A and B are shown apart, each in its own frame.
Chain A
Amino acid sequence: MPEPAFLFGQFLGGLTAGMFLFTIAAGLSLIFGVLRVLNFAHGSFYMFGAYLGWQVMSWVGPGTEYFWLAALAAAACVALLGIAIEHCLLRHLYRREELYQLLFTYALVLILADCAKIIWGTGQLSVSRPPSLSGAVQIFGTTVPHYNLFIMLLGPAIALGLWLLMHRSRVGRLVRAAVMDREMLGALGANVGSLYTIMFGIGAFLAGLGGALVTPVKSIVPGMDVEVIVEVFIVVVIGGLGSLWGTFLGALVFGQVLAFGILIMPRFSIFAVFALMAIILIVRPWGLLGKPLR
């Protein structure tokens, strides 16, 4: 039996990974929940968040507290990009079959990947942790970096924020009404189009934020867009596409299965995650907390 301190460290590692994924997956799930569009380009938004975060950092001073500013600026830029894409392009496809929407977002993946390559090249880029969070603390004999602690707290904060937005604000009420009956809401005089644009922008913002915040723990390379979208899809499939708490649960499960999977089957840890997804798809295709599509 491994030491408790080690198991705790493994648990926290899984929790950090899960909360990173939640930050990104929350946006994907939100967009699907409201617009019913499965956005393949969500990973590309994440990648742009990372590159833009690096770009702003290199302007304002690498290795300083401007990191936070850079992360927010990058996420805001990605949100604007998302809004532009939704407003100019995607909205023409809402009445088409889902296949066209899928093809469109897939085309976006290819286009955005090439754009990133033209702007930032193919080299690997890296961002340092902000000085305020560069240290680590000892918890029960396990070293936990401050930055990881921050991510572990950020996940629930985002979940709570989104829940308040959807259930305690006017915009949230309108959005939930739009999900129930789009035409009726429009007939009542609400501007459904701009509601969709706002939601798409928030989803893109979360992807961009996730990308910018991941830069201190990962290298920024071409291909990170596709890598993350696969993991995020697994998270939302496990938890339930369109469900906020389902996505949260899916991210937690993903992180822990990965962390403890490697203890049991070191060479097949990723297999455990895929196996879990397959089982859920068979037993409960709408995910742990999702609802069957009408």
Chain B
Amino acid sequence: MHRRLLLMAASSIAVALSSGALAQGTIKVGFPMILSGPGALFGEPALKGAQMYVEEINAKGGVLGRKIQLIPRDTKGNADEAVRVARDLILRDDVQFIVGTLTSAEGPAVSTIARENKVVFIAPIPKTDQLTAPANLHPYVFRSASNTTIEGRTAAEIVAKWPVTRIATIAPDYAYGQDVTKAFVEHLKKIKPGVEIVDQQWPKLGEADYTPFINAQLGKKPEAVYSSLWGGHFVTFAKQAKPLGYFQALNNNFIGVGEAGSIESTRSMGADYPVGIWANTYDIFDWPDGPPAHKDYIARLKKFTKEETPSSWPVTGYIGMQFLVEAIAKAGSVESDKVSAALKGLAIDSPIGKLTMRAKDQQANHGQFWGRTRMDPKYPFAVLENVTRIDPAPFMD
């Protein structure tokens, strides 16, 4: 009897020791991301960026002398599935941190799991303001992405300079589209009180036929349009709007947020892209005024993804991981509370410049690239010209 007890005790100690040793070995980071379905267009490259950062940091010996292990999981673009895989990552895979999620439905859903389990969660892509709004903020949620306030207000700053007063909007009817449109309209009315919102269209997310919305909008005779249709939705919209003379009627006074200017969209549309409109993107592979660090990053990315003209989304995953790893280094620990404290106010030198995770709302001052699109003889697709990275700090709350 005693012997048996002794054996059991010994074996359980051995198990405890070995799992402890394992945990000491690597730092596990869960990466829930859309890896299938339409959202994978952005989810896949975001994961690539995170993987590249991890490979680079591990080649330098990791952080605190420990290697990082990235565990990607497919959320299928569904908030319920994102919650399930996040729980699974924490309970079964024993991850100490979570970096990931893509949509504005997934981010807030995973945030509640992070709070329950006291696991630091960095959202590299979801933009809804609700994620870090005071009512939802907790010590373990951080956002390295831009947010709807930053994006909407930046667009308002640009549109305010146009000689137009009759403005219309078109947005997918869900959290992101609603929030980013509200931020735009409110800020524009504040900085240019003479404007009039003459029309607002709300197609459902994933609408297949935008023609009736396009006609209805043109019927109101706007001088400029603010759109937040993203990814494949923007492509479908633009392909239907262009032959209807939509962009012509607007004199190209059209600004597409939601990364309508990303290379993923321009590349897939080629000559069909509505050249001349304004759009934004998270990254550009050709940034003449950019810092050397950006050129270096693009060169490494080209090698890593084997793409001649690399995607714009890897930078989101890269920056998310960079915030986490630098916070771990600063905290000198992988304990959630210490890393959370280290993240507040942390400034990093990201590939696109200095970014700060504000202590007040745990939101990075992550602005985007904005410019007018044009065809470049060097490429078979549209690129942004006179591109500027707008620092959002002056008009963040």
Contact = CB atoms under 8 A, between A and B. Distances in A.
Interface string B179-220: 000000000000000000000111010101101111110110
A124 B231 contact: yes
Nearest to B204: A270
Given A124-B268, A126-B235, A267-B173, A6 B215 contact: yes
A200 interface: no
Given A13-B215, A17-B211, A123-B264, A145 B38 contact: no
Which of A3, A123, A126, A218 is the most central at the interface, judged by chain B CB atoms within 10 Å of its CB?
A126
Given A136-B245, A270-B204, A124 B212 contact: no
B268 A9 contact: no
B240 A219 contact: no
A227 B206 contact: yes
A134 B208 contact: no
B204 A136 contact: no
Nearest to B273: A126
Given A117-B36, A122-B44, A267-B173, A258 B212 contact: yes
B212 A14 contact: yes
A105 interface: no
A263 B214 CA distance: 11
B236 interface: yes
- B218, B231, B244 — most chain A CB neighbours (10 Å): B244
A10 interface: yes
Contacts of A16: 209, 211
Given A3-B219, A123-B264, A222-B40, A13 B232 contact: no
Interface residues of B, number: 39
Nearest to B380: A62
Interface string B3-42: 0000000000000000000000000000000011110110
Contact of A221 (B215, B219, B232): B232
Given A145-B244, A147-B243, A262-B213, A122 B37 contact: yes
B57 interface: no
A219 B37 CA distance: 13
A223 B38 contact: yes
Interface residues of A, number: 45
A216 interface: yes
A145 B173 CA distance: 27
A128 B381 CA distance: 13
Contacts of B212: 10, 13-14, 17, 258-260, 262, 269
A129 interface: yes
Contacts, number: 117
B385 interface: no
Contact of B215 (A10, A117, A228, A266): A10
A128 B244 contact: no
B272 A128 contact: yes
A125 interface: yes
A143 interface: yes
A193 B291 CA distance: 69
B271 interface: yes
Interface in A68-83: none
B202 A266 contact: yes
Contact of B36 (A6, A129, A222, A267): A222
A253 to B, nearest CB: 14
Given A17-B211, A124-B231, A143-B245, A219 B239 contact: yes
A61 interface: no
The 10 closest A-B pairs by CB, nearest first: A145-B243, A13-B211, A122-B40, A219-B235, A6-B219, A259-B212, A219-B232, A143-B245, A124-B232, A9-B215
17 contacts: A9-B218, A13-B209, A13-B212, A13-B214, A17-B211, A17-B212, A62-B270, A122-B36, A123-B41, A123-B268, A126-B235, A143-B245, A217-B239, A219-B236, A221-B38, A222-B36, A262-B213
